[in-house]
Amino acid sequence: MKHICATLMLLCNEPNIDFDFMYHKSYVQEIKECAIRYNSLVSPEKRLPIVLVIAQSIQETGYGTSRFYEEANNLFGIIALEGEDYITSQIDDKKMRRYKSRCESVNHYMELLTTDINYYEFQNILTDQYVRDQINIDKLIYALYNYAEDPNYENKLRKIVKKLQDSIM
């Protein structure tokens, strides 16, 4: 039951909605809908906890205020590979992948975490948590140590997850 609650973001507890969540409700709802749709199409052991998906998109876009979000539908700071459509970062000339839609960005991010060799440890933890029906977001966040260059990325994600859980779960 815990895995179902986490991957479909079912309200298993009474919500405690705070002002900040209400202010960004439409952003969170959009990401949530895309992630739920993706989770419904993949096998249960590959389903990501929705709160983690939302937290990473908040961290990467500042609740949808970043240029990459607005101009490229890039919700997760994903860099473009050779031949992919992109926009260029104004700070360091990185080529950031451009997506046709926000849901396409969510889908690509979720597929990346569940299939790419760089996230093998994350995938093993996710599968183990599915088998045990014990979701531990902290362990999943820890396994994302190579997702971003920011050494404080894990702590930032944990704070966002806690805020989201306090607000909507």
Residue 23: inside a domain: no
Q: What is the DSSP letter of 79?
A: B
Predicted pLDDT at 90? 87
Range of the domain at 121: 29-168
Residue 19: inside a domain: no
| Sequence letter at residue 140 | L
Percent of the chain predicted with pLDDT > 70: 85
Residue 2: inside a domain: no
Give me the chain's average pLDDT, please: 89
Count the domains in the chain: 1
| Residue 137 or 92, more confident | 137
- Does the pLDDT of residue 105 top 80, yes or no? yes
Instruction: Give the helix/strand (H/E) hosting 87.
Output: strand 86-88
In this prediction, residue 24 has a pLDDT band, given cuts at 50, 70 and 90, of confident
Q: Region 74-90: what's the mean pLDDT?
A: 95
Residue 16: inside a domain: no
pTM of the model: 0.86
How far is Cα 70 from Cα 122, in angstroms, rounded to an integer?
Answer: 29
How far is Cα 67 from Cα 87, in angstroms, rounded to an integer?
Answer: 10
Predicted pLDDT at 147? 95
Predicted pLDDT at 8? 56
What is the CATH classification number for the domain harbouring 140? 1.10.530.10
